[in-house]
Structure 1
Amino acid sequence: MEIYERKIIMGNIEKLNKFEAICLILVIITNQIILNLPNSILVSTGSSSPLNTIYISLIAMIFTFIVCKLFKRFIDKDLLDISHFLGGKFLKTIIGILYIIFFTFITSILLRYFSETLKSIYFKDAPIIFILLVFLVPPVIINKFGLNVISKVILFFVPTLLISLLFLIYTTASSFDTSQIFPVLGYGVNETFFAGLSNIFAFGGLAYIYFLKPLLKSPNEFKKISIISIGISSLFLFLSVTSLLMVLPFIVSTDETLSIYLLTKTVELGRFLQRIDAIFIFFWIFATLCYTSVNIFYILNIFKKTANIQNPKAITYALSSIILSASLLPKDIAEVKFLEAIIYKYSTIILVFGISFFILLFANIKYKRKGRATNE
């Protein structure tokens, strides 16, 4: 039987410690929270949004626990390695291509969405391509320095980002209208628990966990890192959804852009600090740069393993051109919202929670059968 021993498979790539890995996952999910993820949940479940968020968070935690169990036999391996074990080079190539497309797509959509928001708030006359380039050029440059620099920047910034979100929620707490959480079941049991299960896409950050293990200095901490990351993400998702519902209940029946930004408009800190939304926008710009840097790194890393090349950085400029072109494809913000609400949502459910999970499951079954055959 092929023995899956721990070894370095990522070339000279730097490794992440526990806190760097947790922050890397958190910067992905907090970006999605900032960029209207709570609004998607609010529109679909209404006043039962807090209950639905607790429900999908529990499902996500259980799912993460199972995924960690399925990874246990494959020390220092990621989804591509496990796909190769299960179905050979063909399956590995298919999964690699799917995830390259997936990460490129979500990067393009997020950049266009946030750029359109900035344009509507501050830069009404600026060409959208210039704003997009602001979010593409720095991540391309930082990727030249490797994962070590990316992780250090994220480790420094993520605590500030999380504290700013907690501060935002705390300062709006005085405006909470608790009557907005009634009826508790919102649009009904079906929308909350059955149709509402589709909101599990909020934890699409699990896609990054599938490729995390070989990047860790201590792969035996993979489970702890995954559980903590999803746990903290669940807390911030719940707080964001609940705050929006109780402070801005009209969001349930509207299609707002960057609903968290509307929350910042309600913050007043005395007489001289009544418009601090620009401070939050500054933090979110930095968060988007970190998010894009991580996605570019992941795409290059997956391409390296899929195509079996030594230096994926050579295609960095080509990749950034593809992301820029894809970001410019939607005609307007309405098309971007459709891609986010429908295409991203269901592609996440199918690829992250469906295909990838079954690859892990069947690989474990194959591993057990090989073990039995060897013993016989």
Structure 2
Amino acid sequence: MSSEGQIGLFEAICISSFIITTKIFYTSTSFIVKEVGTASWYTTLLSCAVSLFFFFLIYLLMKRFEGNNIVEIYELVLGKFLGKLISICFCAYGIFYAGSTLREFVEMIKAFNLPYTPPSVIMALFIGVVCLIVYFGLNGISRISVISFFPVIAGFITILVLTYPEYDADYLKPYLGYGINKTLITGVLRSSAYDEFFILTVIINSIHGLKNFKKAGVISLLIAGISFGISVACYLMVFGYKIGSENLSGMFELARVIYYNRFLQRLESIFLFTWVISSVVSVSISFYLPISIYCKAFRINRHKPLIFPFSFLLFLVAILPDNLTEVLQMNLLVIRQYSMFFIYLVPVAVLIISLITRKRGAALNAQKN
């Protein structure tokens, strides 16, 4: 049994879905519209399909070493030194991811709601809440994910339904956007926006093994793909690709256009709570991931002593960029467009090496013997 405790299939789906889909509330929607124009709504579905392909390759790796998490697999295939080195790289990327996500949220909350509040104050308060959640470990994170999942989904659907009068399907034309080549290249690269399912490879022994790992991965990717596709299509039908590429937060801007009468308008203040809750849960999950990897790499049984030093690193990464432009052009470009070369290709390379060297887990060796 995993020292992190045990969680169910639905909890695993909530964790994976949260960390993938929360970026809907951020700059991801307007960024992809800027990249491929009117083709953005099905480009994100192509990205989901690419991610599903790589997920099944990673699933084959996990199946070959059933009973082991990804950190242990790296050491079994590559040796202890190189395996630990790669795990440390993933740990560093996890801190970079969590800090960049936090900074993106802080910049957006400043732009829309708290323009005069120093970023460091918002970050400190936010990190304090995140540390409190992470203190209770994977079980605490899974429970708050389950509790928050339905309110966030309800808020998301409500925004899309209430903006229905503003929809104009002609804004989806021309259907090929900036060209099929641009769409295909962007679709493959933007599969990086779905690679957060990697957390399931780390906590696989806490979700009752390989069967639940496969179900949680596929379901969470499908939830994310459908959510992204629908939200981008609705966003395009309201703003079009020209104005849509200039907005900061797609979903927040959708909430701002809701107007039925003087008593039903400015609903973005209500959806702000959905946005904040989803951000807190997402950063908590992404902050817990590098701590968990570090503990597994160095055989540390308790994660709590690592929360404070890792929170310092989180704050450091979040405060380094000078402004939102730098966050978008550097940090988020790496995370949502190029991280696939690290998150996907390293496990696939390890799978190929294990096939060449004929290394496999203890369960398959026992069956063979």
Aligned with 1:110: secondary structure?
helix
Residue 44 (str. 1) matches residue 35 (str. 2)? yes
Match of 2:128 among 109, 132, 137: 137
Identical aligned residues as a percent? 24
Mapped to 2, the partners of 1:154 and 1:170 lie a distance apart of 24
Mapped to 1, the partners of 2:328 and 2:41 lie a distance apart of 23
State the partner residue of 2:164. 173
Q: Which amino acid aligns with 1:359?
A: V
Change (3 A) 1:356 1:218: closer
Larger deviation: 184-193 or 66-75?
Answer: 66-75
Match of 1:262 among 239, 250, 253: 253
Q: Please show how residues 92-131 of structure 1 align to structure 2 within 5 Å.
A: 92-131=83-122
Q: Which amino acid aligns with 2:194?
A: F
State the partner residue of 1:295. 286
Mapped to 1, the partners of 2:173 and 2:5 lie a distance apart of 50
Q: How many angstroms does 1:362 deviate by?
A: 2.6
- Unaligned 5+ segments in structure 2 are none
Mapped to 2, the partners of 1:253 and 1:170 lie a distance apart of 19
Mapped to 1, the partners of 2:224 and 2:187 lie a distance apart of 18
Aligned with 1:72: secondary structure?
helix
Contact kept? 2:12, 2:200, Cα under 8 Å: no
- CA deviation vs aligned residue, 1:273-316 (integer Å, no higher than 9, x gap): 20110111111111111112212221211111112223232121
- Unaligned 5+ segments in structure 1 are 1-7
State the partner residue of 2:297. 306
Change (3 A) 1:253 1:264: closer
Mapped to 1, the partners of 2:60 and 2:227 lie a distance apart of 25
Contact kept? 1:40, 1:341, Cα under 8 Å: no
State the partner residue of 2:232. 241
Match of 2:141 among 144, 150, 164: 150
Mapped to 1, the partners of 2:35 and 2:227 lie a distance apart of 19
Change (3 A) 1:121 1:190: same
Q: CA RMSD in A?
A: 2.2
Match of 2:269 among 278, 281, 286: 278
Change (3 A) 1:169 1:96: same
Larger deviation: 326-335 or 292-301?
Answer: 292-301
- CA deviation vs aligned residue, 1:59-98 (integer Å, no higher than 9, x gap): 2223323322332222232211111111111222122111
TM-score normalised by the chain length of structure 1: 0.91
Q: How many angstroms does 1:341 deviate by?
A: 4.1
Q: How many angstroms does 1:108 deviate by?
A: 0.8
Mapped to 1, the partners of 2:10 and 2:285 lie a distance apart of 15
- CA deviation vs aligned residue, 1:187-215 (integer Å, no higher than 9, x gap): 11111113442121121223223223122
Q: How many angstroms does 1:253 deviate by?
A: 6.6
State the partner residue of 2:44. 53
Q: Please show how residues 63-78 of structure 1 align to structure 2 within 5 Å.
A: 63-78=54-69
Contact kept? 1:136, 1:320, Cα under 8 Å: yes
- CA deviation vs aligned residue, 1:122-157 (integer Å, no higher than 9, x gap): 212111111111211011112222221221111011
Mapped to 1, the partners of 2:360 and 2:295 lie a distance apart of 31
Contact kept? 1:36, 1:260, Cα under 8 Å: no
Mapped to 2, the partners of 1:342 and 1:129 lie a distance apart of 23
State the partner residue of 2:196. 205
State the partner residue of 1:352. 343
Q: How many angstroms does 1:272 deviate by?
A: 1.0
Contact kept? 2:20, 2:194, Cα under 8 Å: yes
Contact kept? 1:54, 1:238, Cα under 8 Å: yes
Contact kept? 2:292, 2:303, Cα under 8 Å: yes
Match of 1:21 among 12, 26, 33: 12
Q: Which amino acid aligns with 1:102?
A: Y
Change (3 A) 1:346 1:265: closer
Q: Which amino acid aligns with 1:162?
A: I
Contact kept? 1:109, 1:339, Cα under 8 Å: no
Change (3 A) 1:343 1:194: closer
Q: Which amino acid aligns with 1:52?
A: T
State the partner residue of 2:352. 361
Mapped to 1, the partners of 2:201 and 2:355 lie a distance apart of 15
TM-score normalised by the chain length of structure 2: 0.92
Contact kept? 1:31, 1:291, Cα under 8 Å: yes
Q: How many angstroms does 1:246 deviate by?
A: 1.1
Aligned pair count? 366
Contact kept? 2:38, 2:174, Cα under 8 Å: yes
Change (3 A) 1:313 1:51: same
